[in-house]
Structure formats: structure tokens, C-alpha cells
Amino acid sequence: MIRKIVQIDKERCDGCGLCVPSCAEGAIRIVGGKAEIAADNLCDGLGACLGECPRDAITIIDREADLFDEAAVEKHLVHKPAAPAAPHGGGCPGSRAVSFAPAAAGNAEGSSSPRQSQLAQWPVQLHLVPTSAPYFQDADLLITADCVPFAYADYHRDFLAGKAVVIGCPKLDDTNAYLEKLTELFRVSRIKSITVLRMEVPCCGGIVLAARQALAASGKEIPFREVAISIRGEVLG
């Protein structure tokens, strides 16, 4: 029969294994460094695993598949071996999407108490964030070149507070991958505004270009702001 069932894109999957424990039915396993459905009748098609994949390799589709079988699931879980550890370099539990309340606002200038982090999500690396993560919905998005927080002392207070964030390095990373990821992010999430923080150095312009091209490709109209930071930590506009 035609029904909803999980589909795993083997090209996107890096075998991190984060989806495996999220499936209460034990329908997902890692074989040959890639996630796969052990049997169609073990997958209920509800998609509890969707938000666990940092590579957005899991979707729900309609296709011909055996009916979900609770009895088969019970039998499978009894005999299921312990899940193997994720392969080295294939990902880690630390890339699981998490939202949390940021710390209280930073202390007033001149206070001897340490300032507080304004980060409200994990992960932050653009390559790792799931585009469907709940923290992107109705969010003001801060796209940050990864050298900026080192150069600008009050990054948390002046820019990060109240925003969802992704970071990356356009000099060291593949900006085509940035373009693809940001385009999907803009398409599937209700982003309210986009601020791109870059360093003044020319190579840092790649992250701005990727963001602008992704916004155009997404077909969305979202307020867009670019801010440059000097290597001495000054806001250049």
C-alpha cells in the first residue's frame, strides 16, 4: 500500500548515528557508514527522527511500503543488538539541535562580574545546523564570519542577544555549500530578518555574497543588513 515512510538520502548522510536513538521502534540502523531503514514494517512514518539529522538527510515521503507492524517492532527490539558507536569523523552527539534560554543580560559596564553568554541554541556551525530546527522559526538570524567574535569584544551583547545564529569561514569552507544550506534555511524557516557580520578583509565578503544569493534563490523578501568589523574590533558599518 502507499503510505508515509521515512526516506534517508545516502548522499547527505554522514553516518553520525544521531537518528538511531531517536527512533523508538529501532527502525534505523547504521550500515556501511550510512543510516538506513532496517525494514519498512518497523517504521511508523511519524518522523520522530527528522529533527535529529544535522545533514537534513531524512524526509517523510509517500511510497509503496509494508504496513507498520507493532508486533514486528516488539520482536525486533527484543533481539536488537546494542547500537555501535558512530564511526570516527562521522559526527557526534554534540551536533544535536538544542534550544535553551540564554543567560541573563550582560552586566553593566564597569562591573567586576563576568558578562553572560547570549547563545540560545546548539549547534551554531552552518554545516551542522538542521534547517528545520525550531529555533529558526520567527527568528532574527545572525550570520557570523567566525573571526568576528574574536575581534569584537561585545559580540554577545551588541549582536547575538535575541537572535538565532550560524557561523562559518568563507575562506576555508565551500561557499557553494553555504549557498545551498542558506537557501534551504530561508525557504523552510520563517526568518524575520538577516544580519550578516563579516570581517573587513576581502575574503570575508564570500559569506555576504552567499547569503544574498541564497536569499534571492529562496524567493523570500527578508530585511537584510551587512555589518563589517575591523581587525581592531571597530564597527565599520
Chain mean position to CA 163: 15
C-alpha span between 237 and 196 (Å, rounded): 11
Residue range 23-31: average pLDDT? 87
Q: What is the pLDDT of residues 97-111, one digit of tens each?
A: 677 787 665 455 555
Q: What is the CA radius of gyration of the chain?
A: 21
Q: At residue 48, what is the residue type?
A: A
Whole-angstrom CA distances from 43 to 49, 65, 88, 185 are 11, 10, 27, 27
Q: Tell me what pLDDT residue 113 has.
A: 63
pLDDT reported for residue 90: 44
Show Cβ contacts of residue 218 under 8 Å, excluding neighbours closer than 6 positions.
183, 186, 187
pTM of the full structure? 0.62
DSSP symbols for the chain: -EEEEEEE-TTT-----TTTTT-TT--EEEETTEEEES-GGG--SS-TTGGG-TT--EEEEEEE-PPP-HHHHHHHHHHPPPPPPPPTTS--GGGS-EE-PPPSPPPPTT-SSPP-----EE--BTTTS-TT-GGGTTEEEEEEETTHHHH-TTHIIIIITT-EEEEE-TTTS-HHHHHHHHHHHHHHS-EEEEEEEEESSGGGHHHHHHHHHHHHHHT----EEEEEE-TTS-B--
- Burial environment of residue 27 by CB neighbours within 10 A (0 to 12, 13 to 18, 19 or more): buried
**What does residue 163 show for φ and ψ, rounded to 5 degrees?**
-120, 155
Residue 91 confidence (pLDDT): 47
Q: Residue 149's pLDDT is what?
A: 96
- Cα separation, 186 vs 198, in Å, equals 19
When mean pLDDT is compared over 50-64, 115-129, 207-221, the highest value belongs to: 207-221
pLDDT at 87: 43
The mean pLDDT value for 120-144 works out to: 90
- 159 falls in which pLDDT band (50, 70, 90)? very high
**180-194: b (≥16 Cβ within 10 Å) or e:** ebbbbbbebbebeeb
Q: Do the strands 58-64 and 2-8 form a parallel or antiparallel pair, or are they unpaired?
A: antiparallel
Inter-residue contact 59 to 113 (CB < 8 Å): no
Q: Which three cell numbers stand for residue 143?
A: 550570520
Query: Of 69-78, 79-88, 131-140, which gets the smallest average pLDDT?
Result: 79-88
Domains of the chain and CATH, by start: 2-81 (3.30.70.20), 97-103+115-229 (3.40.50)
pLDDT digits (tens, 9 = 90+) for 40-81: 999 999 888 887 788 889 999 999 999 999 889 888 877 655
